[in-house]
Amino acid sequence: MLQRLQSGSPRKGFTLVELLVVIAIIAVLVAMLIPAVQKVREAAARSTCQNNLRQLGVALHNHNSSHNCFPPAGEYLYVETNGSLKQTQNLQSPITLLLPYIEQEGAYELFTMSKRYNDPNFPGNQAAAKTVIKMLLCQTNPLREMRFGGTTDSAGYGVSDYAPCPYTNLSSDPSNTSNPGASGSAYLSAAALMSTIIPVTDYSGMTTDPNITNTKHLDNALYPDPLFGAPNVGMIKDGLSNCLAFYEDVGRNESWASSRYLDPTTGLSRASWRWAEPDNASGVSKGINANKTPFGGPSTCPWTNHDCGPNNEIFSFHTGGANVLFMDGHVSFLRETISPLVVRALVTRAGGGAETQYYAEGF
């Protein structure tokens, strides 16, 4: 037996060349597989964002069923002494008012709704506003590291990657072919969630910061009802299916704070990245994913500036566009190639027949 084993032919193994060939084949297969996996992962993240927005849509309609109105956008227009329109903030963010309808009853019960979310005399408001709400966070966010744990700011307040849509100031002039993305106060027009005009109080004595240019705000002592002037279905003349409610504004953070609005509670600028902040609402003054390249923004509009890139505009890091929620509850992916005229039409609630030609062009 021993002699037979010793005389048998030796067991043959892989040669070095064969091993190298196998390794090379595996490397090629992995290189081919990684992009496919990344595409699947991004498709899943995009789908998650769409589901998050759909939940907000369901919440909007449950709120309307309970109160016969929608929550105000968080930002509205008021009339200046010279007759021009300017923007300022409501008492509460619409997300705060939607808390009972997005399974956040505990946070809602902590709130004193007649007081601002960060009022130090009402610690329950602050505690509630520091709730991390997972459905308000987009997974496709390369700026996540600019937040604490990816979910809060340095003060512990919860953040949101979805913005309520209050108005647009994109030009409505189709003949302006030389500058089709023009914007300005002359073009201000209300979106579906904007409340009626409410008088304001001048808080300019609270700050000497030259960057804060909007110091007139609702006085919550005079208007303690967060639903004062709230919009209803009858105010949305263009139809619920043609008007934006929320949109992706992914990546806002305190490192790029550039709010021009005074916070009457702190005397500092408002914190638009927080879900409980009424200034979480953002008017639309650019096209979809404007100034997205290079990463960080061009020198003409760096992302640290207000209304640039993900700093208070319709913006996502999904390929080719951004998800938006319409007032009827449906969610669409708007291509970043669509005209600013189409974007304007999809924001306004009473654009009338002049805008009907644009309603189907964004999809």
Q: Please name the amino acid found at residue 141.
A: N
| Length in residues, the chain | 363
Run of H or E residues at 20: helix 16-67
Nearest partner of 95 among 358, 330, 325, 337, judged by Cα: 325
Per residue in 121-142, pLDDT (tens digit) is 999 999 999 999 999 999 999 9
Residue 117 has a pLDDT of 98
The answer to which of 31-45, 122-136, 222-236, 263-277 has the lowest mean pLDDT is: 31-45
Residue 25 tokens read as 């084949």
Please name which of 168, 278, 160 lies closest in space to residue 226, comparing C-alpha atoms.
278
Mean pLDDT of the chain: 90
Residue 9: its pLDDT value, please?
A: 57
CA 254/CA 270 separation, integer angstroms = 10
Q: Which amino acid is at 224?
A: P
pLDDT digits (tens, 9 = 90+) for 6-62: 555 555 666 877 778 888 888 887 777 666 556 657 767 889 999 999 999 999 999
**Per-residue confidence (pLDDT) for residue 19, from 0 to 100:** 79
Of 55-59, 120-124, 223-227, 354-358, least confident by mean pLDDT is 354-358
- Give me the sign of the Cα torsion angle 145, 149, 151, 156: negative
Number of Cα atoms under 13 Å in the Cβ half of residue 344? 24
- The confidence score (pLDDT) of residue 46 equals 83
Residue 191, phi then psi, degrees to nearest 5: -90, 175
pLDDT at 273: 96
